[in-house]
Structure 1
Amino acid sequence: MKKVIYALIVLLVVVSGLVFANREIKNETSKKSTPKPLSAAERKAELKKWEATPEGIKFKKWEASPEGKKVLAGAAKISNQISDSTNMEAVITSLSLPPGSRLGFGVMARINGDDYILSFGLEGSNEFQQLHSLKVNDKIVIRSHFVSYAPKYSYPIVSGDYVERDSKIIYKRAPRKGGC
Protein backbone atom coordinates (compact mmCIF):
# COMPACT_ATOMS: atom_id res chain seq x y z
CA MET A 1 0.00 0.00 0.00
CA LYS A 2 2.90 2.33 0.86
CA LYS A 3 4.44 1.73 -2.57
CA VAL A 4 1.21 2.78 -4.31
CA ILE A 5 1.00 6.00 -2.25
CA TYR A 6 4.66 6.82 -2.98
CA ALA A 7 4.11 6.11 -6.67
CA LEU A 8 1.07 8.44 -6.75
CA ILE A 9 3.00 11.20 -4.94
CA VAL A 10 5.95 10.89 -7.34
CA LEU A 11 3.55 10.91 -10.30
CA LEU A 12 1.82 14.03 -8.91
CA VAL A 13 5.18 15.81 -8.46
CA VAL A 14 6.29 14.94 -12.00
CA VAL A 15 3.00 16.04 -13.60
CA SER A 16 2.89 19.32 -11.65
CA GLY A 17 6.52 19.99 -12.61
CA LEU A 18 5.69 19.48 -16.28
CA VAL A 19 2.66 21.80 -16.03
CA PHE A 20 4.69 24.59 -14.43
CA ALA A 21 7.57 24.11 -16.91
CA ASN A 22 5.14 24.30 -19.82
CA ARG A 23 3.60 27.50 -18.44
CA GLU A 24 7.01 29.15 -18.18
CA ILE A 25 7.84 28.19 -21.76
CA LYS A 26 4.57 29.74 -22.98
CA ASN A 27 5.27 32.93 -21.01
CA GLU A 28 8.75 33.18 -22.55
CA THR A 29 7.47 32.75 -26.10
CA SER A 30 4.76 35.36 -25.61
CA LYS A 31 7.33 37.84 -24.30
CA LYS A 32 9.57 37.24 -27.30
CA SER A 33 6.76 37.58 -29.86
CA THR A 34 5.79 41.08 -28.69
CA PRO A 35 7.80 43.49 -30.81
CA LYS A 36 9.03 46.62 -29.13
CA PRO A 37 7.92 49.87 -30.73
CA LEU A 38 10.46 51.51 -33.00
CA SER A 39 12.08 54.74 -31.95
CA ALA A 40 11.69 57.84 -34.12
CA ALA A 41 15.16 57.36 -35.59
CA GLU A 42 14.45 53.69 -36.38
CA ARG A 43 11.14 54.59 -38.03
CA LYS A 44 12.87 57.24 -40.12
CA ALA A 45 15.53 54.73 -41.19
CA GLU A 46 12.86 52.13 -42.11
CA LEU A 47 10.98 54.76 -44.12
CA LYS A 48 14.16 55.70 -46.01
CA LYS A 49 14.77 52.01 -46.72
CA TRP A 50 11.21 51.58 -48.01
CA GLU A 51 11.46 54.72 -50.18
CA ALA A 52 14.42 53.10 -51.97
CA THR A 53 12.32 50.06 -52.95
CA PRO A 54 10.44 50.02 -56.28
CA GLU A 55 7.12 50.47 -54.44
CA GLY A 56 8.49 53.43 -52.51
CA ILE A 57 9.84 55.08 -55.66
CA LYS A 58 6.50 54.56 -57.40
CA PHE A 59 4.66 56.09 -54.42
CA LYS A 60 6.98 59.13 -54.33
CA LYS A 61 6.40 59.70 -58.07
CA TRP A 62 2.64 59.48 -57.50
CA GLU A 63 2.86 61.98 -54.61
CA ALA A 64 4.66 64.46 -56.88
CA SER A 65 2.20 64.00 -59.77
CA PRO A 66 -0.76 66.39 -60.21
CA GLU A 67 -3.20 63.57 -59.39
CA GLY A 68 -1.30 62.69 -56.21
CA LYS A 69 -1.14 66.33 -55.14
CA LYS A 70 -4.91 66.64 -55.68
CA VAL A 71 -5.59 63.55 -53.53
CA LEU A 72 -3.21 64.72 -50.78
CA ALA A 73 -4.78 68.19 -50.79
CA GLY A 74 -8.25 66.64 -50.46
CA ALA A 75 -7.09 64.54 -47.49
CA ALA A 76 -5.47 67.57 -45.86
CA LYS A 77 -8.64 69.64 -46.40
CA ILE A 78 -10.66 67.47 -44.00
CA SER A 79 -7.84 66.40 -41.66
CA ASN A 80 -8.94 68.72 -38.83
CA GLN A 81 -12.50 67.40 -38.95
CA ILE A 82 -11.16 63.84 -39.03
CA SER A 83 -8.83 64.32 -36.06
CA ASP A 84 -11.60 66.02 -34.04
CA SER A 85 -14.19 63.47 -35.26
CA THR A 86 -16.63 66.30 -35.96
CA ASN A 87 -19.65 66.19 -38.25
CA MET A 88 -19.06 66.71 -41.97
CA GLU A 89 -21.85 67.41 -44.41
CA ALA A 90 -21.66 65.34 -47.57
CA VAL A 91 -23.68 64.70 -50.71
CA ILE A 92 -23.78 61.22 -52.27
CA THR A 93 -22.44 61.43 -55.83
CA SER A 94 -22.33 57.73 -56.74
CA LEU A 95 -23.55 54.50 -55.19
CA SER A 96 -20.63 52.50 -56.54
CA LEU A 97 -16.90 52.74 -56.01
CA PRO A 98 -14.40 53.26 -58.85
CA PRO A 99 -13.86 50.19 -61.06
CA GLY A 100 -11.34 47.72 -59.66
CA SER A 101 -11.56 48.96 -56.09
CA ARG A 102 -11.12 46.47 -53.27
CA LEU A 103 -12.46 48.49 -50.38
CA GLY A 104 -15.62 46.52 -49.69
CA PHE A 105 -18.88 48.42 -49.39
CA GLY A 106 -18.73 52.15 -50.00
CA VAL A 107 -20.11 55.13 -51.88
CA MET A 108 -18.71 58.26 -53.46
CA ALA A 109 -19.44 61.49 -51.61
CA ARG A 110 -18.70 65.18 -52.07
CA ILE A 111 -17.45 66.95 -48.93
CA ASN A 112 -16.62 70.67 -49.05
CA GLY A 113 -16.58 70.60 -52.86
CA ASP A 114 -14.17 67.65 -53.22
CA ASP A 115 -14.99 64.04 -54.05
CA TYR A 116 -14.09 61.26 -51.60
CA ILE A 117 -14.50 57.52 -51.37
CA LEU A 118 -16.59 56.82 -48.30
CA SER A 119 -15.62 53.27 -47.32
CA PHE A 120 -17.33 51.18 -44.66
CA GLY A 121 -15.49 47.87 -44.92
CA LEU A 122 -16.14 44.37 -46.13
CA GLU A 123 -19.77 43.53 -46.59
CA GLY A 124 -20.76 40.32 -44.91
CA SER A 125 -23.56 41.04 -42.49
CA ASN A 126 -26.71 43.14 -42.26
CA GLU A 127 -24.61 45.93 -40.78
CA PHE A 128 -24.90 48.06 -43.95
CA GLN A 129 -28.57 47.37 -44.65
CA GLN A 130 -29.74 50.95 -44.01
CA LEU A 131 -26.85 52.35 -46.06
CA HIS A 132 -28.25 50.54 -49.11
CA SER A 133 -31.21 52.94 -48.94
CA LEU A 134 -28.97 55.89 -49.86
CA LYS A 135 -29.59 57.55 -53.19
CA VAL A 136 -27.56 59.89 -55.37
CA ASN A 137 -27.85 63.52 -54.16
CA ASP A 138 -28.84 62.47 -50.63
CA LYS A 139 -27.44 64.88 -48.06
CA ILE A 140 -25.84 63.10 -45.15
CA VAL A 141 -23.78 63.92 -42.09
CA ILE A 142 -20.74 61.73 -41.52
CA ARG A 143 -18.04 61.28 -38.91
CA SER A 144 -14.79 59.50 -39.40
CA HIS A 145 -11.58 58.78 -37.55
CA PHE A 146 -9.36 58.02 -40.52
CA VAL A 147 -8.60 59.26 -44.02
CA SER A 148 -6.14 57.47 -46.30
CA TYR A 149 -4.96 57.47 -49.89
CA ALA A 150 -3.29 55.15 -52.35
CA PRO A 151 -1.86 55.58 -55.85
CA LYS A 152 -4.50 53.14 -57.12
CA TYR A 153 -7.33 55.57 -56.30
CA SER A 154 -7.96 59.08 -57.63
CA TYR A 155 -9.75 60.11 -54.44
CA PRO A 156 -8.95 60.18 -50.72
CA ILE A 157 -10.54 57.30 -48.82
CA VAL A 158 -12.61 58.25 -45.77
CA SER A 159 -13.42 55.46 -43.34
CA GLY A 160 -17.08 55.87 -42.39
CA ASP A 161 -17.81 55.58 -38.66
CA TYR A 162 -21.17 57.35 -38.44
CA VAL A 163 -23.79 58.34 -41.02
CA GLU A 164 -26.90 60.38 -40.40
CA ARG A 165 -29.62 61.29 -42.89
CA ASP A 166 -32.54 63.61 -42.06
CA SER A 167 -31.41 63.69 -38.40
CA LYS A 168 -31.68 59.88 -38.16
CA ILE A 169 -28.69 57.64 -37.61
CA ILE A 170 -28.49 55.10 -40.43
CA TYR A 171 -25.05 53.70 -39.61
CA LYS A 172 -22.77 53.66 -36.60
CA ARG A 173 -19.64 51.53 -36.57
CA ALA A 174 -19.59 49.07 -33.70
CA PRO A 175 -16.66 49.61 -31.32
CA ARG A 176 -13.80 47.14 -31.60
CA LYS A 177 -13.89 44.24 -29.21
CA GLY A 178 -10.99 44.03 -26.79
CA GLY A 179 -9.33 47.13 -28.21
CA CYS A 180 -8.97 50.74 -27.31
Structure 2
Amino acid sequence: MSDIQVRFATQQDATAVAALHLNACRMAYAGQVPDEHWAVTPMAKRVTYWKEAIEYGEPQVMVAVDGKDIVGFVGFDRSRDPKSKNTTGEIWAIYAAPERIGQGVGLALWDAAREGLQDEDCTDVTVWLPLLHEQTLRFHELAGFKREMNTARTVPLGGVKVEEVRLKRKLG
Protein backbone atom coordinates (compact mmCIF):
# COMPACT_ATOMS: atom_id res chain seq x y z
CA MET A 1 0.00 0.00 0.00
CA SER A 2 1.37 3.38 -0.97
CA ASP A 3 1.28 6.50 1.16
CA ILE A 4 0.22 9.29 -1.20
CA GLN A 5 0.70 12.82 0.06
CA VAL A 6 -0.39 15.98 -1.77
CA ARG A 7 1.42 19.29 -1.45
CA PHE A 8 1.88 22.50 -3.42
CA ALA A 9 4.42 22.13 -6.20
CA THR A 10 7.81 23.83 -5.96
CA GLN A 11 10.09 25.06 -8.73
CA GLN A 12 12.13 21.88 -8.30
CA ASP A 13 9.04 19.84 -9.25
CA ALA A 14 8.58 21.49 -12.67
CA THR A 15 10.71 18.99 -14.61
CA ALA A 16 8.92 16.00 -13.09
CA VAL A 17 5.49 17.61 -13.67
CA ALA A 18 6.36 18.36 -17.31
CA ALA A 19 7.55 14.79 -17.93
CA LEU A 20 4.52 13.27 -16.20
CA HIS A 21 2.18 15.55 -18.18
CA LEU A 22 3.78 14.53 -21.47
CA ASN A 23 3.71 10.79 -20.69
CA ALA A 24 0.14 10.89 -19.39
CA CYS A 25 -1.07 12.83 -22.45
CA ARG A 26 0.67 10.41 -24.81
CA MET A 27 -1.11 7.51 -23.14
CA ALA A 28 -4.47 9.27 -22.81
CA TYR A 29 -4.56 10.38 -26.45
CA ALA A 30 -2.97 7.24 -27.95
CA GLY A 31 -4.76 6.30 -31.13
CA GLN A 32 -6.45 9.70 -31.33
CA VAL A 33 -3.61 12.25 -31.56
CA PRO A 34 -0.57 11.37 -33.70
CA ASP A 35 2.47 10.59 -31.55
CA GLU A 36 4.56 13.07 -33.56
CA HIS A 37 2.49 15.89 -32.03
CA TRP A 38 4.10 15.38 -28.64
CA ALA A 39 7.63 15.83 -30.04
CA VAL A 40 6.83 19.29 -31.46
CA THR A 41 7.16 21.08 -28.11
CA PRO A 42 10.67 20.72 -26.66
CA MET A 43 10.88 19.48 -23.06
CA ALA A 44 12.64 22.71 -22.03
CA LYS A 45 9.59 24.71 -23.11
CA ARG A 46 7.28 22.36 -21.20
CA VAL A 47 9.41 22.76 -18.06
CA THR A 48 9.37 26.56 -18.44
CA TYR A 49 5.56 26.53 -18.68
CA TRP A 50 5.23 24.56 -15.44
CA LYS A 51 7.88 26.65 -13.64
CA GLU A 52 5.90 29.79 -14.49
CA ALA A 53 2.59 28.20 -13.45
CA ILE A 54 4.10 27.16 -10.13
CA GLU A 55 5.71 30.57 -9.56
CA TYR A 56 2.67 32.68 -10.44
CA GLY A 57 -0.08 30.30 -9.29
CA GLU A 58 -1.87 30.32 -12.64
CA PRO A 59 -3.03 27.66 -12.24
CA GLN A 60 -2.27 26.64 -8.69
CA VAL A 61 -0.30 23.40 -8.97
CA MET A 62 -0.24 20.58 -6.44
CA VAL A 63 1.64 17.31 -6.73
CA ALA A 64 0.92 13.85 -5.39
CA VAL A 65 4.03 12.24 -3.98
CA ASP A 66 4.76 8.71 -2.87
CA GLY A 67 8.03 8.82 -1.00
CA LYS A 68 10.24 10.99 -3.20
CA ASP A 69 8.38 10.22 -6.44
CA ILE A 70 5.89 12.61 -8.01
CA VAL A 71 3.03 10.32 -9.09
CA GLY A 72 0.47 12.90 -10.20
CA PHE A 73 -0.43 16.57 -10.31
CA VAL A 74 -3.43 18.87 -10.47
CA GLY A 75 -3.71 22.44 -11.73
CA PHE A 76 -6.76 24.45 -10.62
CA ASP A 77 -7.94 28.02 -10.36
CA ARG A 78 -10.90 30.19 -11.29
CA SER A 79 -12.77 29.11 -14.39
CA ARG A 80 -11.30 30.33 -17.68
CA ASP A 81 -14.74 30.18 -19.33
CA PRO A 82 -15.74 33.80 -20.06
CA LYS A 83 -19.40 33.40 -19.03
CA SER A 84 -18.68 31.69 -15.71
CA LYS A 85 -19.45 33.29 -12.36
CA ASN A 86 -16.46 34.44 -10.34
CA THR A 87 -17.33 31.74 -7.79
CA THR A 88 -16.75 28.98 -10.36
CA GLY A 89 -13.43 27.17 -10.20
CA GLU A 90 -11.90 24.92 -12.82
CA ILE A 91 -9.68 21.88 -12.81
CA TRP A 92 -7.26 22.95 -15.56
CA ALA A 93 -5.40 19.61 -15.54
CA ILE A 94 -5.36 16.49 -13.40
CA TYR A 95 -3.11 13.56 -14.22
CA ALA A 96 -1.81 10.47 -12.46
CA ALA A 97 1.28 8.71 -13.72
CA PRO A 98 -0.02 6.04 -16.14
CA GLU A 99 1.35 3.21 -13.99
CA ARG A 100 -0.44 4.65 -10.93
CA ILE A 101 -3.96 4.91 -12.37
CA GLY A 102 -6.48 3.21 -10.10
CA GLN A 103 -4.28 3.54 -6.99
CA GLY A 104 -5.92 6.58 -5.37
CA VAL A 105 -3.68 9.28 -6.86
CA GLY A 106 -6.52 11.00 -8.73
CA LEU A 107 -8.77 10.96 -5.67
CA ALA A 108 -6.05 12.47 -3.47
CA LEU A 109 -5.46 15.20 -6.06
CA TRP A 110 -9.19 15.89 -6.47
CA ASP A 111 -9.62 16.19 -2.68
CA ALA A 112 -6.74 18.69 -2.48
CA ALA A 113 -8.04 20.75 -5.42
CA ARG A 114 -11.56 20.79 -3.96
CA GLU A 115 -10.22 22.13 -0.66
CA GLY A 116 -8.09 24.71 -2.49
CA LEU A 117 -11.07 25.93 -4.53
CA GLN A 118 -13.25 26.12 -1.41
CA ASP A 119 -10.50 28.21 0.25
CA GLU A 120 -10.83 30.57 -2.75
CA ASP A 121 -14.60 30.86 -2.04
CA CYS A 122 -15.60 28.87 -5.13
CA THR A 123 -19.04 27.25 -4.94
CA ASP A 124 -18.87 25.23 -8.19
CA VAL A 125 -16.14 23.58 -10.21
CA THR A 126 -15.87 22.63 -13.88
CA VAL A 127 -13.51 20.52 -15.95
CA TRP A 128 -13.20 20.08 -19.74
CA LEU A 129 -12.67 16.47 -20.79
CA PRO A 130 -12.32 14.66 -24.12
CA LEU A 131 -15.44 12.63 -24.91
CA LEU A 132 -13.38 9.60 -25.94
CA HIS A 133 -11.67 9.26 -22.55
CA GLU A 134 -14.15 6.91 -20.91
CA GLN A 135 -11.88 6.21 -17.92
CA THR A 136 -11.39 9.93 -17.23
CA LEU A 137 -15.09 10.68 -17.67
CA ARG A 138 -15.98 7.82 -15.32
CA PHE A 139 -13.53 9.08 -12.67
CA HIS A 140 -15.07 12.56 -12.71
CA GLU A 141 -18.62 11.23 -12.71
CA LEU A 142 -17.80 9.09 -9.67
CA ALA A 143 -16.46 12.29 -8.05
CA GLY A 144 -19.89 13.89 -8.53
CA PHE A 145 -19.41 15.78 -11.80
CA LYS A 146 -22.29 15.89 -14.30
CA ARG A 147 -21.92 16.36 -18.05
CA GLU A 148 -23.16 19.62 -19.52
CA MET A 149 -23.92 18.41 -23.02
CA ASN A 150 -24.73 21.88 -24.34
CA THR A 151 -21.07 22.78 -23.77
CA ALA A 152 -19.59 20.30 -26.26
CA ARG A 153 -16.79 21.82 -28.33
CA THR A 154 -14.17 20.73 -30.82
CA VAL A 155 -10.55 21.67 -30.22
CA PRO A 156 -7.59 21.10 -32.57
CA LEU A 157 -4.81 18.95 -31.14
CA GLY A 158 -1.94 17.53 -33.16
CA GLY A 159 -3.66 18.03 -36.49
CA VAL A 160 -6.85 16.27 -35.41
CA LYS A 161 -10.05 17.55 -33.86
CA VAL A 162 -10.82 16.41 -30.31
CA GLU A 163 -14.38 16.57 -29.00
CA GLU A 164 -14.63 17.86 -25.43
CA VAL A 165 -17.46 18.36 -22.99
CA ARG A 166 -17.59 20.38 -19.78
CA LEU A 167 -18.53 18.67 -16.53
CA LYS A 168 -19.63 20.57 -13.45
CA ARG A 169 -20.39 19.95 -9.78
CA LYS A 170 -21.12 21.87 -6.61
CA LEU A 171 -18.34 22.21 -4.06
CA GLY A 172 -19.03 21.44 -0.45
Does the TM-score normalized on the shorter chain lie above 0.5?
no
TM-score (norm 2): 0.23
User: Larger relative contact order (C-alpha < 8 A, sep ≥ 6)?
Assistant: 2
TM-score (norm 1): 0.23
The structure with more strand, counted as a fraction of residues: 2
The structure with more helix, counted as a fraction of residues: 1
Instruction: Give the structure with higher Rg (CA).
Output: 1
